[in-house]
């Protein structure tokens, strides 16, 4: 098998589906292992991590951080000279390297929740023995669930705090804006849909135009109008500082968890 996946939670399942949809690998080239033997009919699914690791050329660990050491102890003899990709939050490359054979090539990836609908962002960091073709493979694999970019590992906590945790912050803001719509008389369903579509359109403008968000904001804020009136309320109540502090606290928590695990 070319690709093995241990763990069929939401992210592991999304990754396999993305790989299949993008035709990066065929179903016969993928094997997965999960304790519950979840049913993905397109590929072979077993309950044996050792066999999965032995048969795969490249192995993805899509498991929770708290079971990582147990799984590493199981598979360590089967991953010599192979590429191992971990998407477990907070598990450092050094920690993985310490538990696996020295010839194992290690890449750490942080995807985020929208990956389950192929709209994610995945940042990856490479261990010292990683080959250029390994990087290309990871970029190709994770492109099946969204955008991909490489970072230094010391930025992984910042990535976790911003894009990893960011969807939760955005959902909270989305809910709050739609609450405002309901307060103004809109039906809840309509308010949520209008807010979500507005956020999607605004985000797409940032990405597609390349303009700074402040410039795009100025396009909407006419003198004495509704937008500038609303922005005045946001600024007076410290919205900008609150969001900056939110990200800083999330990054700090990621650092604390990182240190506790490693």
Task: Measure the CA–CA gap between 218 and 222, rounded to whole angstroms.
Answer: 8
Outline where the chain has alpha helix (H): 10-21, 49-55, 68-75, 93-99, 132-142, 156-159, 166-183, 188-209, 213-220, 226-236, 239-261
Q: What would the pLDDT profile of 46-93 be if each residue is shown by its tens digit?
A: 999 999 999 999 999 999 999 999 999 999 999 999 999 999 988 999
For domain 3-157, which CATH number applies: 3.60.9.10, 3.40.50.720, 3.30.465.10, 3.40.50.300?
3.40.50.720
Grade residue 36 by pLDDT with cuts at 50, 70 and 90: confident
Q: Tens digit of pLDDT for each residue in 210-229?
A: 999 999 999 999 999 999 99
Q: Which fold has domain 164-261?
A: ProC C-terminal domain-like fold (1.10.3730)
pLDDT by residue (tens digit) across 93-126? 999 999 999 999 999 999 999 999 999 999 999 9
């Amino acid at each position: 098998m070319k690709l093995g996946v241990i763990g069929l939670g939401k992210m592991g399942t999304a990754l396999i589906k993305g790989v299949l949809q993008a035709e990066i690998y065929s179903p016969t080239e993928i094997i997965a292992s999960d304790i519950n033997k979840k049913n993905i009919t397109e590929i072979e699914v077993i309950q044996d991590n050792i066999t999965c690791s032995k048969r795969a050329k490249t192995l993805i660990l899509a498991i929770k951080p708290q079971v990582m050491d147990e799984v590493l102890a199981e598979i360590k003899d089967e991953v010599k000279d192979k590429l191992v990709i971990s998407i477990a939050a907070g598990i450092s490359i050094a920690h993985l390297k310490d538990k696996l054979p020295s010839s194992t090539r290690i890449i750490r990836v942080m995807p985020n929740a929208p990956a389950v609908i192929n709209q994610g962002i995945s940042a990856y960091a490479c261990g010292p023995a990683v080959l250029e073709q390994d990087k290309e493979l990871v970029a190709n694999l994770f492109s099946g669930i969204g955008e991909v970019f490489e970072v230094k590992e010391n930025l992984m906590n910042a990535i976790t705090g911003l894009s990893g945790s960011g969807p939760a912050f955005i959902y909270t803001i989305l809910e709050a804006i739609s609450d405002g719509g309901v307060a103004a008389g809109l039906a809840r369903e309509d308010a949520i849909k209008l807010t979500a579509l507005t956020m999607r359109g605004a985000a797409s403008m940032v990405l597609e135009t390349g303009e700074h968000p402040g410039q795009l904001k100025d396009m909407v804020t006419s003198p004495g109008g509704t937008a500038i009136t609303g922005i005045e309320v946001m600024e007076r109540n410290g919205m900008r500082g609150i969001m900056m502090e939110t990200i800083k606290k999330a990054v700090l928590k990621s650092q604390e968890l990182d240190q506790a695990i490693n």
